[in-house]
């Protein structure tokens, strides 16, 4: 969403990026100041720091609401997501007030852009305030469209697409428990997407070359879907990434992790394409045995590594001390990295990834082959795209219920880091992605010109 905000601001829109309060208490804070419950806090970013048309606004927590209640640390990622979105929904009155108050300003809000999982209430806010509503799909078009077909009752269309990409096969049988869990999540997803048909535009952070099997179905639908991927922030245009501006923008947007830039200097000292980036995203937690097997497999492969170990990760997700000591000449563990900067570095030869959509798309943009270790939700589909359809990566393991052995890790890494055909294929996709990037900029410019008659946006 932040990348889209920067793109729209670069097209002349005054963009208000709406974020939630990340303070540990129930009282919103901004720059060290405490504010009363319910008060909206806005802070424009100065032109010397970031895009002059981009502003940030904080929605404080609701006392006694979902956002003020602590969630069990052992909760599933799905439960955490539901808790987070429930906290946002209870603050819709604040969003509506923000729209109303803007009418007295020099930049009245004329359109709201929201994540697809928020559209069931954001679109109603837009309707009540008589302004436009656009939906952003931050994942692959497939991950949105198949559940949408289910919502329409067109189960056979969705199932056919599932079979086509290889997510299910004839004769596959799910357990009763698994089917119940999937049905529950599908019903929840369909509720979150309620009203998406009323959006004037649906912007998808993907491009047609990546998902040709879904394009025909999209064109046959009544939804105004536009591909805007790969959507990178404006401060990364031209392949030159500006550290200072990116850091400021991430901080203002409320990012929870602080990027470690020292790793870039370390990468400068490494041999070209000799280092494996290891990162499983901002939320995933691995089994202790799997972390051990990854470490031993990486060591046995003799490839360099840059391993992201989140500061808030449980102790059993930290690679063993003796492993780090033995490999300190060729490896480095850091709490967080500027991932796009790292993937762009010539020392990186591969990426061991959970296949979250952002990570997958960024790997394609920078031509880095992937070793796929999906763990949740759409990551399994993304992994199939990578190794089965695009052929720019390799699968690792057959099931998340079975620990991948160090031998499997070693063999896969040697293949990944030394496979010329795989790398050439990744470079081919990188070239296509660069063309798609130019096309996406034109698409967004047309979106602004055709839809935003009075260019002031609010992004939730």
The per-residue pLDDT for range 357-403, each reduced to its tens digit, is 999 999 999 999 999 999 988 899 899 999 999 999 999 986 667 89
Q: Do residue 33 and residue 172 come from a single domain?
A: yes
Q: Do residue 87 and residue 16 come from a single domain?
A: yes
Q: Do residue 152 and residue 276 come from a single domain?
A: no
C-alpha distances (whole Å) from 223 to each of 89, 187, 436 are 24, 20, 21
CA distance 358 to 343: 12
Kindly state the average pLDDT of the residues 10-25.
Answer: 76
Average pLDDT, the chain: 82
pLDDT tens for 278-292 read 999 988 889 999 999
Q: Do residue 402 and residue 454 come from a single domain?
A: no
For residue 410, being part of any structural domain is answered with yes
Q: Where does the pLDDT of residue 234 fall: very low under 50, low under 70, confident under 90, or very high at 90 and above?
A: confident
pLDDT cut 90: percent of the chain above it: 53
Q: Do residue 33 and residue 131 come from a single domain?
A: yes
pLDDT tens for 20-48 read 875 433 323 333 333 333 444 444 444 33
Residue 438 confidence (pLDDT): 92
Strands 14-20 and 54-59: parallel
Q: What total number of domains does the chain contain? A: 2
CA 19 to centroid of chain Cα atoms: 16
For residue 240, being part of any structural domain is answered with no
Q: Do residue 293 and residue 216 come from a single domain?
A: no
Q: Do residue 79 and residue 142 come from a single domain?
A: yes
Q: Do residue 89 and residue 137 come from a single domain?
A: yes
Residue 189 confidence (pLDDT): 83
* 3-class DSSP string for 75-117: CCHHHHHHHHHHHHHCCHHHHHHHHHHHCCCCCCCCEEEEEHH
pLDDT tens for 312-334 read 888 899 999 999 999 999 999 99
Q: Where does the pLDDT of residue 190 fall: very low under 50, low under 70, confident under 90, or very high at 90 and above?
A: confident
Report whether 133 contacts 198 (CB < 8 A): yes
Q: Where does the pLDDT of residue 152 fall: very low under 50, low under 70, confident under 90, or very high at 90 and above?
A: low
Whether pLDDT at 147 is above 60? yes
Q: Do residue 407 and residue 444 come from a single domain?
A: no
Kindly state the average pLDDT of the residues 40-64.
Answer: 63
Whether pLDDT at 243 is above 60? no
Q: Show Cβ contacts of residue 366 under 8 Å, excluding neighbours closer than 6 positions.
A: 340, 343, 344, 430
**Residue 343, phi then psi, degrees to nearest 5:** -60, -30
For residue 254, being part of any structural domain is answered with no
Q: What is the pTM of this model?
A: 0.85
Domain that includes residue 326, residue range: 259-434
How many Cα neighbours within 13 Å face the side chain of 3?
Answer: 20
Kindly state the average pLDDT of the residues 432-437.
Answer: 95
For residue 389, being part of any structural domain is answered with yes
Whether pLDDT at 120 is above 70? yes
CATH code: domain of residue 68: 3.40.50.2000
Kindly state the average pLDDT of the residues 246-250.
Answer: 52
Q: Where does the pLDDT of residue 155 fall: very low under 50, low under 70, confident under 90, or very high at 90 and above?
A: low
């Amino acid at each position: 969403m932040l990348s889209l905000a920067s793109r729209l601001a670069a097209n002349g829109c005054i963009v208000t990026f709406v974020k939630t309060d990340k303070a540990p208490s129930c009282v919103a804070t901004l720059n060290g100041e405490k504010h009363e419950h319910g008060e909206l806090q806005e802070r424009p970013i100065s032109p010397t720091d970031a895009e002059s048309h981009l502003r940030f606004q904080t929605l404080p927590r609701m006392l006694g609401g979902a956002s003020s209640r602590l969630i069990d640390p052992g909760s599933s990622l799905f439960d955490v997501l539901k808790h987070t979105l429930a906290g946002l929904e209870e603050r819709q009155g604040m969003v509506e007030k923000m729209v109303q108050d803007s009418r007295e300003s020099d930049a009245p809000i004329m359109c709201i852009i929201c994540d697809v999982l928020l559209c069931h209430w954001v679109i109603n806010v837009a309707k009540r305030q008589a302004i436009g509503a656009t939906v952003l799909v931050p994942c692959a078009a497939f991950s949105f469209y198949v559940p949408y077909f289910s919502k329409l009752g067109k189960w056979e269309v969705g199932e056919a697409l599932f079979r086509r990409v290889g997510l299910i096969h004839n004769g596959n049988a799910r357990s009763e428990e698994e089917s119940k869990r999937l049905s529950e999540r599908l019903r929840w997803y369909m509720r979150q997407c309620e009203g998406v048909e009323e959006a004037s535009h649906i912007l998808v952070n993907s491009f047609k070359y990546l998902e040709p099997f879904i394009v025909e179905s999209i064109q046959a639908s009544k939804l105004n879907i536009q591909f805007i991927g790969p959507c990178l922030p404006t401060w990364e245009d031209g392949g030159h990434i500006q550290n200072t501006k990116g850091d400021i923008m991430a901080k203002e947007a409320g990012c929870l992790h602080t990027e470690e830039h020292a790793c870039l200097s370390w990468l400068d000292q490494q041999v070209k394409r000799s280092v494996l980036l290891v990162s499983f995203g901002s939320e995933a937690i691995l089994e202790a045995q799997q972390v051990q097997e990854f470490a031993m497999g990486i060591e046995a492969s003799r490839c360099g590594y840059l391993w992201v170990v989140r500061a808030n990760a449980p102790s059993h997700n930290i690679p063993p001390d003796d492993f780090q000591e033995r490999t300190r000449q060729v490896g480095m563990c850091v709490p967080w990295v500027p991932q796009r900067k790292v993937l762009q570095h010539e020392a990186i030869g591969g990426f061991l990834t959970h296949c979250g959509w952002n990570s997958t798309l960024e790997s394609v943009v920078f031509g880095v082959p992937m070793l796929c270790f999906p763990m949740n939700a759409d990551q399994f589909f993304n992994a199939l795209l990578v190794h089965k359809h695009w052929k720019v990566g390799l699968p690792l393991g057959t099931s998340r219920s079975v620990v991948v052995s160090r031998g499997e890790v070693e063999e896969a890494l040697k293949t990944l880091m030394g496979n010329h055909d795989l790398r050439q294929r990744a470079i081919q996709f990188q070239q296509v992605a660069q063309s798609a990037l130019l096309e996406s900029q034109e698409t967004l410019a047309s979106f602004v010109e055709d839809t935003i008659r009075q260019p002031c946006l609010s992004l939730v």
